[in-house]
Amino acid sequence: MTSDLGPSGNRTSAPGPYPIRASAPGPYGIRPVPPHGGTLRGGPLPEASAAALDCLQTGLALLADHHHGRGTHLRLGVRPALRPRPAAPLPTVEASAADRLAEARRLLGLRVSRLHRVRPGSGLPPGPGPYYAVADAYHLPWVPYHGQRHMEHSFVVEYGAGRATVHDAYHNDTPWGGARPGAWTLPLPRLAALLAEAGAVLYALEPVLPDTGSTGPTGTAEEPTGPAAVLRYVGAYRDHPDRAAVHDRLNLEVWLGVRAWRLYALRTGSAEAAGLAERWRRLSERVYLAARRTARGKDEPPGLFEEFTALLLADPAAAAAPARPTEDGPGTREGRPPAGQGAEGPAERAERAVREALAAVLRLPPGEPADGRPFSSVPGFNSFRMVDILEHVESALGIEVPAGDLTAATLRDAGTLRDLALRHLTAPAGAAGGGR
């Protein structure tokens, strides 16, 4: 699994998580089909659910609804609790396939009855399935990680009469394209070859009664983690010397927090939990920006670990997003040039650079979005697009905004970004603030 990333420009009209050109279906002859065109019951997951599950949960969610009825997958929405495990170079809350299968037994009433490791020449287990499949996404041509990143990924397969259907409910944005829920068909021999190449494991899951004592009516699975454990976990990231590695990994840790709190909010209908999920999302944007900057040897924005700690310790009963400080409102008007005034000065240059960046990156008409409209409300905007916009502005104006000035307040909307750019465009060298 990976953190939320922005859409790339290679779009087609084909449905599904990774658009496949009709003229070039790929080496496996994969063709999109209507969602759940096979025998899988329960229908496609709601988009809100797909956007709240990680890439190992989505396949289990499909099978939970198949075996137990639509909406069963929401039982996965337990209150998040910090349970990091040791890993190199940093501890992580990322779950393994074994963790997710144990969770499915406890929460969803799905038990592994048999498994089959697909190897060259091993063939496939008897059809028709459906089977929960876990494989290396690097080898899966319907996802954007194909040929780009090695990571465990889940989906559901069923087959018979020489053909197979793949169901993938994953919803995410990546640097290589958008992953969207869909279904695909391909010849059965080609599925066998693909799964062998990807080192897939197929699990037959049988319905059983879930452990009704594992969650209460509000989806609470475990007690919240104490402050000492949170501080140890955050401290490992805060104090690690390799800052690029820290923010690369922290990007995933925070993304998992976003998904977990979204799912808990869906399960419980809690406005407080939804507010907390939004705070996690805003932090994820800042962490991705930090990851991009530290990868290039630049300073990291301040305050990330303080907010990370606060979110890990937050009580959802009191987790409504706090009121924004006054500086987090729409951009001031001081940088807006009065209409019709003379030659282009610094204010006009800053305005033009921001508007050109927004038009180029988000493909918006001139003047959109209006000052005061949060970037987060613009379709297609995400943390990757924010970095692209900022880099476009810096390049156009010949400035470099210090890490200390890259905050949620200064990157909120077109007005605040313009004012930030203007401040650094007009400030004497070293006078605009910033620093670690």
Higher confidence at residue 425 or residue 248?
248
256 and 172 fall within a common domain: no
Same domain flag for 187 and 49:
yes
In whole angstroms, give the CA distance from residue 416 to residue 372: 8
Q: 3-class SS at 149?
A: coil
**76 and 183 belong to one structural domain:** yes
Cross-strand partners of 203? 115, 132
**Is 232 found in the same domain as 195?**
no
pLDDT of residue 4: 45
Average pLDDT, stretch 52-61? Answer: 98
What is the C-alpha to C-alpha distance for residues 368 and 364, in angstroms, rounded to an integer?
6
Residue 107 has φ and ψ, to the nearest 5°, of: -100, -35
Percent helix, strand, coil in the chain (nearest 5)?
Answer: 40, 10, 45
Is pLDDT at 21 greater than 60 in this prediction? Answer: no
Residue 323 has pLDDT above 90, yes or no: no
**In DSSP terms, which residues pair with 115 in a beta bridge?**
203
Looking at residue 388, its pLDDT comes to 84
The CATH number covering residue 363 comes to: 1.10.1200.10
Is 272 a domain residue? Answer: yes
Percentage of the chain surpassing pLDDT 90? 55
Q: Is pLDDT at 338 greater than 60 in this prediction?
A: no
Decide if 22 is inside a domain.
no
* Relative orientation angle of helices 414-426 and 383-397, to the nearest 10 degrees: 30
pLDDT band for position 251 (50/70/90)?
very high
Cβ atoms of 205 and 132 within 8 Å: the answer is yes
Report how far residue 365's alpha carbon sits from residue 410's, in angstroms, rounded to the nearest whole number.
Answer: 22
- Residue 222 maps to a domain: no
Please check whether residues 49 and 149 belong to one and the same domain: yes
Task: Work out the number of other CB atoms within 10 angstroms of the CB of residue 333.
Answer: 10
Angle, to 10 degrees, between the axis of helix 304-313 and the axis of helix 227-239? 160
Instruction: Say what the pLDDT of residue 112 is.
Output: 98
Determine whether 244 is exposed, middle or buried from the number of CB atoms within 10 Å of its CB (0-12, 13-18, 19+).
Answer: middle
Give yes or no for a cis peptide into 322 (omega within 30° of 0): no
In a domain, 60, yes or no: yes
pLDDT for 218 equals: 47
| 141 and 186 share one domain | yes
Average pLDDT over residues 67-79: 96
Residue 65 pLDDT more than 60?
yes
- Do 364 and 418 lie in a common domain? yes
**Residue 78 token pair:** 């337990």
Region of residue 300 (phi > 0: left; psi between -120 and 50: alpha; otherwise: beta): beta
SS (H, E, C) 226-287: CHHHHHHHHHHHHHCCCHHHHHHHHHHHHHHHHHHHHHHHHHHCCHHHHHHHHHHHHHHHHH
What would the mean pLDDT of 8-35 be, rounded to a whole number?
A: 50
Query: Is 74 part of any domain?
Result: yes
Look at residue 224 in the predicted model and tell me its pLDDT.
Answer: 61
In the predicted structure, residue 325 carries a pLDDT above the cut 80: no
Q: Is 299 among the domain residues?
A: yes
In 3D, which of 359, 333, 261, 363 has the Cα closest to residue 51?
261
Q: Yes or no: say if 131 and 201 are a contact pair by the CB < 8 Å rule.
A: no
234 and 277 fall within a common domain: yes
Q: What is the pLDDT of residues 259-315, one digit of tens each?
A: 999 999 999 999 999 999 999 999 998 999 899 889 988 888 889 999 999 999 997
Domain that holds residue 76: 31-207
Among 207, 240, 267, where does a domain finish? Answer: 207
Q: Which region among 9-13, 242-246, 287-291, 367-371 has the lowest average model confidence (pLDDT)?
A: 9-13
Q: Higher pLDDT residue, 216 or 385? A: 385
Give the pLDDT band of residue 335 (cuts 50, 70, 90).
very low
In a domain, 9, yes or no: no
Residue 10 has pLDDT above 90, yes or no: no
Greatest mean pLDDT range, 1-15, 104-118, 413-427 = 104-118
Going by C-alpha positions, the residue among 146, 138, 139, 135 that lies closest to residue 19 is 146
Q: How confident is the model at residue 370 (pLDDT cuts 50, 70, 90)?
A: confident
Q: Which residue has the higher pLDDT, 104 or 427?
A: 104
- When pLDDT is averaged across residues 374-399 and rounded to a whole number, the result is 85
Using a pLDDT cut of 70, give the percent of the chain over it: 81
CA atoms within a 13 Å half-sphere pointing along the CA-CB vector of 17 = 30
Examine the pLDDT at 434 and tell me if it is beyond 70.
no
pLDDT at 158 over 90: yes
How many domains are contained in the chain?
A: 3
Q: Which of 207, 236, 261 is the last residue of a domain?
A: 207
pLDDT for 147 = 96
pTM of the model: 0.76
Are 311 and 304 in contact, with CB atoms under 8 Å apart?
no
Q: How far is the C-alpha of 358 from the C-alpha of 367, rounded, in Å?
A: 9
- Count other C-beta atoms under 10 Å from residue 388's C-beta: 16
Q: Is residue 196 part of a domain?
A: yes
Instruction: Please name which of 340, 352, 346 lies closest in space to residue 414, comparing C-alpha atoms.
Output: 352
Domain co-membership, 99 together with 187? yes
Q: Are residues 257 and 188 in the same domain?
A: no
- Picking from 268, 285, 318, the residue at the C-terminal end of a domain is 318
Same domain, 239 and 203: no
Residue 192 and residue 231 in one domain:
no
- Span of 64-78, 124-138, 159-173, 391-405 with lowest mean pLDDT: 391-405
Cα three-residue angle 409-360-379, rounded to 5 degrees = 60
How confident is the model at residue 327, as a pLDDT? 32
Q: How far apart are CA 201 and CA 197, in angstroms?
A: 11
